[in-house]
Amino acid sequence: MATSSTTVHILGAGPTGSLAAIALASKGCSVVLTDPLTRKELLSRSRAYAITHSSRRLLTDLNLWTSLQGSLTAFSSLDLRDSACGGRVVFGLDDLPNSNGRHEAIGWILDHQPLMELLMDRLHQHHRVELALGCAPPHPGVDDLIVAADGPLSTTRSQWGIGCWQFRYRQGCLTSKLVLRGVKSGMAYELFRPEGPLAILPLGDGIFQVVWSAPWTQCQRRADLPTPEFLDELAAVLPAGIEPDLLLDTPRAFPQQWSLARRLSRGRGVLLGEAGHRCHPVGGQGLNLCWRDVTSLTNLAERGGTSQRLARRYGRSRWADLLMVGLATDLLVRLFSNQQRWLLPFRRIGLEAMARFSWLRRISLRAMTDGPTQLLKPLPD
């Protein structure tokens, strides 16, 4: 068991670093959480996250779930379509295992600001957490555990001399918040299109986050379009019956890449979240994969041991999950985002089989919502 004599320095106070600070402090660690950004800057990001059942369990264990209820928008159906071959699968609550289905949601959409406000408030209140925001990090002690949660461009990872396997997708990703009409209540969409997947995620009150993947030059061009032209281009690719009414923020374009650090630990340091890995946003796996890092690190810290031993065990424990999710999201993008006509019959057969056989939907949804490494394990209530 971790004790108050165990000190953890976490570098990066985004959603993953902040949640890790709360989790480790709850296990008895003394935590120093630092970030060059101020609280106001950390809260100002405009984006939304897909929350799966693996993340729900972590937030529940940390007594955060109930406080987020008013900010979560549940979806009980997921409509997956392939525009090129015409295949379609609708996932519902019956495709979830009982322990997840009783929560009456396949997943939830959560806006960045209420999440970070709650995390920051809990961090300020926790007597085992020292916050150092908007300033340089204090120097860690010789026996302290160092957790790098400073994002995909992690300077800490570079300083530790840890390289990455990585490649850039030809696709970029454009995100925006809009008012849409014609969307069924409780429905989220994942639309596979030749130029890239398009996700429609409900935020409540008719507001949706759109995650639109396309060739990088297209994303940049669309981000700079006047609002009427942007809405016209979006309307042309939305499912029949769904129309955009109002753009609520400035569309932002991001390049997409897959990356995985060649090792997740060095000495008494570990790489957490996007400091150690990134995957394509298809399926909304990114934040949930990062938060499973937090779950793994917290469980290992509870078992005790030196910082170096903890770091080594963490580095070994995360490979299977990271590799399987990275491979699955990459295969989805390569299979469904292309102009290869010879693939269309196979795509249609695959989607028709999933639509017909409930056991295929259950396996797919279980892997998406709990993580592929949990497929053969019983789920807690």
Using CB atoms within 10 Å of the CB of residue 236, give its burial: 0 to 12 exposed, 13 to 18 middle, 19+ buried. Answer: exposed
Total residue count of the chain as it appears in this document: 381
Predicted local confidence at residue 376, as pLDDT: 77
Question: Residues 175, 34, 159, CA angle at the centre, nearest 5°?
Answer: 85
DSSP three-state, residue 174: strand
How would you classify the pairing of strands 77-82 and 187-192?
parallel
Predicted local confidence at residue 38, as pLDDT: 95
Q: What is the DSSP letter of 160?
A: T
Q: What is the DSSP letter of 126?
A: -
Predicted local confidence at residue 46, as pLDDT: 81
For the chain, 381 residues long, give each residue's pLDDT as a single digit of tens. Answer: 444 467 999 999 999 999 999 999 999 999 999 999 999 999 998 888 999 999 999 999 999 999 999 999 999 999 999 998 989 999 999 999 999 999 999 999 999 999 999 999 999 999 999 999 998 888 888 889 999 999 999 999 999 999 999 999 988 999 999 999 999 999 999 999 999 999 999 999 999 999 999 999 999 999 999 999 999 999 999 999 999 999 999 999 999 999 999 999 999 999 999 999 999 988 889 999 999 999 999 999 988 889 999 999 999 999 999 999 999 999 999 999 887 889 999 999 999 999 999 999 999 999 999 999 988 788 776
Predicted local confidence at residue 92, as pLDDT: 96
- Is there a contact between 372 and 324 (Cβ–Cβ < 8 Å)? yes
255 beta partners: 172
112-125 vs 15-26: helix axis angle to the nearest 10?
A: 30
Predicted local confidence at residue 143, as pLDDT: 87
